[in-house]
Amino acid sequence: MGVYHAFSSAQADPANTPANQLRAWPSDWNKDHFHPDFTLITVTCRGAAMTGYAIASGVIEFLGLTIHRARFDLSYVDQIRLIANVVQPGSQNAALLAQWSGDGGATWNNFAGGGAQAPTVSVFRRGCVQSGWLNTSAASRAAGDALIRLATMGGDGLTQVKFGTIALQVY
């Protein structure tokens, strides 16, 4: 956890990726149907599922820790989506979301701006889930080199959730 990998579409191609690395395209079919210029930011690495995590009702930084933040140039990011492998589901309204900060983490913003949407996935069901593609705001693009973080919300504070790989896909 806490290791970040950013792959261009060429780097994520299985022909260019060693066998023990993350593969963004597990099959030729997927390779032919992905957007050709995406970047994948892995927020938590694959491997054994992390220890259970109880999601609180309010918006809280992922695991309550700042070590999962990453700095990323948002100036060219027109769209973003969140992808998560939910190993052990959470309560009915529990969700995982991504946000950005242009002031070093003092203020967190949703990617659509003005308090609007952040890429968000429900963690109520087991499996690989993804948000829809979200158009980013002019403010997030103007921020340029900004921090990104994961946050959680809508939980009951008791149900333990476990995740595998969590990633942001941008283009």
pLDDT of residue 69: 86
Query: Domains in the chain: how many in total?
Result: 1
Strand partners, 162: 88
Q: Where are the alpha helices (DSSP H) in the chain?
A: 9-12, 28-33, 138-143
Cα separation, 14 vs 151, in Å, equals 31
Per-residue model confidence as pLDDT tens digits over 4-37: 334 333 433 434 433 333 333 333 433 444 444 5
pLDDT category of residue 41 using cuts at 50, 70 and 90: low
pLDDT category of residue 144 using cuts at 50, 70 and 90: confident
- Residue 91's alpha-carbon distances to 85, 86, 121, 155, 158, in angstroms, are 16, 12, 13, 6, 8
Cα separation, 62 vs 1, in Å, equals 11
* Domain of residue 77, residue span: 5-170
Per-residue model confidence as pLDDT tens digits over 152-161: 999 999 999 9
pLDDT of residue 50: 65
Residue 64 has phi, psi (to 5 degrees) of 70, 15
CATH number assigned to the domain comprising residue 76: 2.60.120
Burial classification of residue 27, based on how many CB atoms lie within 10 Å of its CB (0-12 exposed, 13-18 middle, 19 or more buried): exposed
